[in-house]
Amino acid sequence: MKKQVIPAIVMLTLSLVIVIGSQTFLSPCVHEDGSSGPCHWAGQALMGLGCALGVLAAIALCVKRARPGVYLSGLPVCALGILTPGTLIDLCRMSTMRCRMVMRPAMILLFSAALLCALAGAVLTARQKS
């Protein structure tokens, strides 16, 4: 039973990095004139998804009964997180821009890690049931 909490803890940590990162060290491009391109909105969407993931992880941590469902619902959230930068929401049109150089790869890695956590959690909880 202790094992089932570990994915939730890792997920919670990842979601914190995602939310804080999307506003600070992993933020999208900042333009000199203060205008915001599509990548700004991608960053906001990622923050939102990060928050959702954090809430799911917190529920998995506290409510034991909800764990299997919560871990499963983490899967589409993480998939959205992977698809958001560049696929669902456009980024700047140059690979050398911050949003493509830093934000996108970092966010894809973070959400992929969270996806693996959710998967591990789902498997662990399912195994305990049977």
Chain residues that interact with other proteins, rule: CB under 8 A: 29, 31, 35, 37, 91-97, 100-102, 105-106, 108-109
Distance of CA 8 to the CA centre of its chain: 13
| Shortest distance, position 5 Cβ to other proteins, whole Å | 18
Q: Which is nearer to other proteins, 66 or 102 (CB)?
A: 102
Nearer to other proteins, 46 or 106 (CB): 106
Shortest reach from residue 91's CB to other proteins, in Å: 7
CB closer to other proteins out of 55 and 97 = 97
For residue 96, the minimal CB distance to other proteins (Å) is 6
Contact partners, residue 117, CB within 8 Å, separation at least 6: 7, 8, 10, 11, 14, 74
Residue 40 in tokens: 């700004």
**Which residue from 125, 115, 112, 129 is spatially nearest to 61, judged by alpha carbons?**
125
